[in-house]
Chains A and B, each alone.
Chain A
Amino acid sequence: MDEAANEPHGPPILRIDGESNGWLAVVRDAVREVIGAGIDADASSAFLTAVSEIATNAEAAGVRAGTSRPVVVTVDAERRAVEVTDFGGGFDPDQHRGLPGPSVSSGRGLHIARAFCPELTWARTATGMTCTLPFPEPV
């Protein structure tokens, strides 16, 4: 796990490399630390679920591509956003909009992420994808 805070008074930017057990919990704790007052528990849980889905999907993309490079998650307090970058070669998010049948046990992650963070955006990189999830607005 590589974490780097670059400010003396707290981490406006925290980079987390997802390469060890429990890294999703570390990501969520980092988001909880900076998401700020005024975000109610429901909005926080919804956003954290969206971040977890995107990070899990990014990890799976890397595994499928056979890369040894871990997912990089950046929690940016100043921009109030989380960025998730994978090295899985890229994909077309628009081709993953359907839902499986109710008795199918997988395939809902991106749908849930979009439902809980409708403002999320995707960008292709040279080696994969970056997904940006803006923090929810304070009530």
Chain B
Amino acid sequence: MSGRSTHHLSIEVVRERNAARLVVDGDLDRSSAGELRDLGIDLVDTCSHVNVDLVAASVIDSSALGVLIELNRAAPAAGCGFDVTIGPAYQRTLFATTGLDDYFDLIQAP
């Protein structure tokens, strides 16, 4: 077994006027969550609204939740709206079991 994981994280930034969407694809863990933090902090400082789209995230660990919490705290201070889009059942379970389903403004993808 060698080479890059087929579930390597990629994050696409989609800008729409003064809003931005961070579309996550792949595994979001301790070693990759920093990329989401760096992109997210820059965007909440410069946008009126930021959405993190997790629908295609195959793993979301507690480090990634920690980054989302940091962004959710930073956004209001910067005058930025912030929400998170989730999809598969395991993602709903993740947010519910950690009690974060009420903390975040969650959007359930169709």
B22-74 with Cβ < 8 A to chain A: 27, 29-31, 58-63, 65-67, 69-70, 73
B69 contacts A104, CB within 8 Å?
yes
- Name the distance in Å between B96's Cβ and chain A's nearest Cβ: 9
B103 contacts A28, CB within 8 Å?
no
- Name the distance in Å between A101's Cβ and chain B's nearest Cβ: 9
Q: How many residues of B contact A (CB 8 A)?
A: 33
Report if A22 contacts B (CB, 8 A).
yes
Nearest neighbor of B8 in chain A, beta-carbon distance: A25
Main SS of the interface on chain A? helix
**Which residues from chain A contact B63 at a C-beta distance below 8 Å?**
56, 106
Binding site for A on B (CB under 8 A): 1, 4-8, 27, 29-31, 58-63, 65-67, 69-70, 73, 88-90, 93-94, 97-100, 102-103
Q: List 28 A-B contacts (CB under 8 A).
A: A22-B5, A24-B30, A25-B7, A26-B1, A26-B5, A29-B5, A42-B89, A43-B90, A45-B58, A45-B90, A49-B61, A53-B61, A53-B62, A56-B29, A102-B102, A106-B63, A107-B62, A108-B62, A108-B98, A109-B61, A111-B97, A111-B98, A112-B61, A112-B94, A112-B97, A115-B93, A115-B97, A116-B90
